[in-house]
Amino acid sequence: MKKHFKKILWLIPILLFCLYWLGIYLSLKNPMEEINYSENGGMMRNMIVKPYTQTIGSEVPWKEDEGFQTFPYSDKIVGGKEHLAVTMFRGTADWFYLYKYKLDENTSVNLIFEYKASKKIFYQSDLYLTIDETSYEGQQLLDQLAAYGKDRTWLKKQSKKVVEQYILGTWFRNGSSRYSLKHLGDMKIEYDKLIDE
């Protein structure tokens, strides 16, 4: 009886430690909180989730002494005419993503998405087209885009593809499947008014 009691006493700290980290993981209320935790969550985070930089195929490790860093997504996830990178900040979940789609050598469509932790919202904060050094927004963007046979519907599809397949979809496949596009926890997604009109 005493031997069993000693074994139980020895297991209690381990069990409490595991329950503590499980409690932290379960306290993450949406996928962006999970993503942030995977990079900023302390030493034990990798026992719960894979580091975000690994899930996006980045070969550049997070430098612990840096306040923020930008990591490109692997060409296996986003390639060809497309480029996607995330800028991550130490100590805050307010990260942003820059997506570029090259229409030709000098022209690209640029979509920027941000997560605002205080409002639990993942939103499209900017949408513009650049030709050389000149940027076009709103109706001018749509006018320039028409020359390439693309329109507002194409912009909407690209925006949803970036959010649903590249950013969140990659996390659901490679990081954590606790959330999904149908179950985002307490997070909302909002797109630019230009494509929602």
Domain ranges of the chain: 2-196
Distance CA 177, CA 196 (A): 28
Strands annotated E in the chain: 68-72, 82-89, 96-102, 107-116, 121-131, 134-136, 188-190
At 71-105, the pLDDT tens digits run: 999 999 998 899 999 998 877 778 899 999 999 99
Quote the pTM value.
0.85
Q: Compute and round to an integer the Cα radius of gyration of the chain.
A: 21
User: Which amino acid makes up residue 30?
Assistant: N
- State the pLDDT confidence band at 50, using cuts at 50, 70 and 90: confident
Span 158-181, pLDDT tens digits: 999 999 999 999 999 998 888 999
The model's pLDDT over 115-172, given as tens digits with 9 standing for 90+, comes to: 998 999 999 999 999 999 899 999 999 999 999 999 999 999 999 999 999 999 999 9
Which H, E and C letters describe 80-127, residue by residue? Answer: CCEEEEEEEECCCCCCEEEEEEECCCCEEEEEEEEEECCCCEEEEEEE
Say which DSSP state 189 is in: E
The pLDDT, as a whole number, for residue 164 is: 96
Strand partners for 109: 101, 129
Q: Is the pLDDT reported for residue 55 higher than 70?
A: yes
Range 49-58 average pLDDT? 85
Choice between 187 and 17, residue whose per-residue pLDDT is larger:
187
pLDDT at 94 (0 to 100): 84
Q: With beta carbons less than 8 A apart as the criterion, state whether 126 and 112 touch.
A: yes
At 193 the three-state DSSP class reads helix
25 Cβ contact partners less than 8 Å away, ≥ 6 residues apart: 37, 48, 49
pLDDT in tens, 2-28: 666 666 666 666 565 555 555 566 678
Token look-up 């999970």 returns 34
